[in-house]
Chains A and B, each alone.
Chain A
Amino acid sequence: MNTQAVVCNQVLKSFGAGEDEVKVLRGVDLTVPLGEMTFLVGPSGCGKTTLLSVIAGLLNPTGGDLHVLGTALHQLKSSKAVEFRRENLGFVFQQFNLLPALTAAENAAVPLLAANWPLKKAVEKAKTLLDELGLGSRVNARPNQLSGVQQQRVAFARALIHDPKLIVCDEPTSALDEHTGHYVMELLRKIAVRPERAVLVVTHDNRIYNFADRIAHMNDGLVTHVEQNGGMN
């Protein structure tokens, strides 16, 4: 059985060409195991977000070898890659990116709607999940009626509702104070980490490093070293 959610071998990514070429990833080697929460940390501009985008199939690597859940994602046709993301990946964005016109439950149900679930059934499942996340009384509120933490919980629900095998989170605590950040990470660990699932978090918030099972340090387009952390255990 494959125990690695992500395997990167000498992954390259550059933007532009010729003299204007900017090499952002310069040969990344990284593995993200299933059943763990892995943090990708490093200074601004080191390539964390680019690596996350490549792993999530939102950008194609310029070179190297990349397998996500045993699939060479960058070798898939565009339509297959979209399908792969829809079925296997959950996203938590820095700005939450909730649709302002939808209620909390409808926002959480978006991945199911994208997978052609009937609206009513999808929203019902979303309500159940939001209830488990402590938002049962706010399922019909729109994002502008929710606090930052509540929006974050809706974003978690959206990332989890279709039971993906890999969850990618971009700076989940950057807009939160320390106390709230800890609460959010506790919640994420509790609901997201499963033996058959990996969670990859990009952050430069060192206040939450102790929530990681392992921490991959990046600098100048490379993963310089990976440390085991224990993940609050």
Chain B
Amino acid sequence: MRFIAWQMLTGDKAKYLGLIFAIAFSTFLMSHQVSIFCGLMNRTAAQIDDIVDAKIWVMDAKTQYLDEVKALTDQDLFRIRGVEGVEWAVPLFKGTSRAKAPDGRFRGIILMGLDDASLIGMPRRIIKGNIDALQEPETIAIDQVGYKFFFPNEPVTIHRTLDLNDHTVRIVAVVDSNAPFVNLPVFYTRYSQAISFVGRERNQMSFVLAKAKQGIADAELNRRITAATGLKSLTANELGWETIWYYIKNTGIPINFGITVVIALIVGTVVAGQTFYLFTIENLKQFGALKAIGVSDLRIVGMILMQALIVGAIGYGIGISMTAAFFEAFQSNLDLRGFRMLPEIMQGTAAVVFFIVILASAFSVRKVIVLEPAVVFRG
């Protein structure tokens, strides 16, 4: 009977393709939009992901997310270093400034000031140059997107200069970092240099990065730091999620994406459901004949579900391939870096598509179940 189900499905090419298109379109919209949303939310925590050396981030107790901080004092740093279980603790500056290229083009930038001695927090992938040269005065490392902006269509070289808040700074390294939420260029320099670049305030320290001694769990160290200093201490992962949730709760981004995903879900369900229902209605006499001949309701339900699952699988395959092709095509676009389709999105979309085809076939199944086989004797 599987053969008959397959032949019935593919026999009506227009409806068959219509069903597949509806599922594929729905799959593409859902997986694509959710991927973009996840990519965007991941970008909010990009600077946290870039700093792989430190698992512990300490900040003011009222800090809500990464991009809005109240400066800590040097005293805070010393107190953190004094907490039992701290292997090391270093300062981190995260701020914004404005940089200008020799040709006059300028842009706001994210400035990261790393511990002078260790440079903890520097991205690992160095595209050009040497980060040790940051020990020299008035030097920075720049991410490759920033470099492309200030020196478009030019090969990546070091020792070029930029104007940074009336300081002429020299690029000594070009690094690969995650795209930040606002997609601004990211400059890395020593902590003391960063302070001098942005001008003096009484306190400048954005965060303290710390590492637990061997045998001390991160969560335990967080608890100890908070108890000893009154500051908020989180793991990088926790701070990343706090930042993501801040954007989810305080911006219209999830609503916007959510509406698109819900529309995709509704359109997919309605179009697929309606087409599938019409398909079944048009074949009702045939199903009646099969029931009369001696095909059980269970087997007919199996035939309909098989048809639905085939359509779902093909439509899902096409839709998810379209999404994958989109991200593959834009993989080399630096402005879109970080946007990709996660395995969880593929799995989640598959589950939703399964729900759509089951829902779409449910009405058809009901129609066939209640169908009297005697209908075949009515002209």
**Which A positions have Cβ atoms within 8 angstroms of B?**
49, 52-53, 56, 58-59, 79, 82-87, 89, 91, 93-95, 97, 99-102, 106, 110-111, 113-115, 119, 158, 170-171
Q: Is the pair B374, A53 in contact by a Cβ cutoff of 8 Å?
A: yes
- Shortest C-beta distance, A74 to chain B (Å), equals 13
- Shortest C-beta distance, A16 to chain B (Å), equals 14
The closest CB in chain B to the CB of A90 belongs to B293
**Residue in A49, A110, A158, A171 whose beta carbon sits within 8 Å of that of B4 in the complex:** A110
The B interface is mostly helix, strand or loop, or mixed, namely: helix
Q: Is the pair A106, B376 in contact by a Cβ cutoff of 8 Å?
A: no
Q: Is the pair A97, B288 in contact by a Cβ cutoff of 8 Å?
A: yes
Contact residues of B between 351 and 379, Cβ < 8 Å to A? 372-374, 376-379
- Shortest C-beta distance, A193 to chain B (Å), equals 21
Knowing A58-B374, A79-B296, A82-B296, the reply to whether A97 touches B285 (Cβ < 8 A) is yes
How far apart sit A136 and B296, CA to CA, in the bound complex (Å)? 31
How far apart sit A129 and B163, CA to CA, in the bound complex (Å)? 91
Q: Is the pair B372, A59 in contact by a Cβ cutoff of 8 Å?
A: yes
Q: Is the pair B372, A49 in contact by a Cβ cutoff of 8 Å?
A: no
A-B residue pairs in contact (CB < 8 Å), sample of 22: A53-B374, A58-B292, A58-B373, A59-B372, A82-B295, A82-B296, A85-B292, A85-B293, A86-B295, A87-B294, A89-B294, A91-B293, A93-B376, A95-B379, A97-B286, A101-B7, A101-B8, A102-B11, A113-B3, A114-B1, A114-B293, A170-B376
Residues of A contacting B1 in the complex (Cβ-Cβ under 8 angstroms): 113-114
**Which B positions have Cβ atoms within 8 angstroms of A?**
1, 3-4, 7-8, 10-12, 285-286, 288-296, 299, 372-374, 376-379
Residues of A contacting B299 in the complex (Cβ-Cβ under 8 angstroms): 114
**Residue in B4, B292, B296 whose beta carbon sits within 8 Å of that of A99 in the complex:** B4
Further pairs besides A86-B295, A101-B10, A106-B3: 5, Cβ < 8 Å: A59-B372, A91-B376, A101-B11, A102-B4, A170-B376
Residues of B contacting A106 in the complex (Cβ-Cβ under 8 angstroms): 3-4, 7
How far apart sit A85 and B11, CA to CA, in the bound complex (Å)? 27
How far apart sit A99 and B287, CA to CA, in the bound complex (Å)? 9
- Shortest C-beta distance, A42 to chain B (Å), equals 15
4 closest A-B pairs by beta carbon, nearest first, are A86-B294, A101-B11, A97-B289, A58-B374
Residues of A contacting B377 in the complex (Cβ-Cβ under 8 angstroms): 49, 52-53, 58, 93-94, 170
- Shortest C-beta distance, A20 to chain B (Å), equals 18
Knowing A83-B294, A85-B294, A94-B379, the reply to whether A99 touches B8 (Cβ < 8 A) is yes
Q: Is the pair B7, A102 in contact by a Cβ cutoff of 8 Å?
A: yes
How far apart sit A113 and B290, CA to CA, in the bound complex (Å)? 11
Residues of B contacting A82 in the complex (Cβ-Cβ under 8 angstroms): 291, 294-296
**Residue in B288, B293, B296 whose beta carbon sits within 8 Å of that of A110 in the complex:** B293
Q: Is the pair A97, B294 in contact by a Cβ cutoff of 8 Å?
A: no
The closest CB in chain A to the CB of B379 belongs to A94
- Shortest C-beta distance, A190 to chain B (Å), equals 23
How far apart sit A79 and B296, CA to CA, in the bound complex (Å)? 7
Q: Is the pair B378, A113 in contact by a Cβ cutoff of 8 Å?
A: no
- Shortest C-beta distance, B315 to chain A (Å), equals 20
**Residue in A53, A83, A114 whose beta carbon sits within 8 Å of that of B290 in the complex:** A114
Q: Is the pair A113, B285 in contact by a Cβ cutoff of 8 Å?
A: no
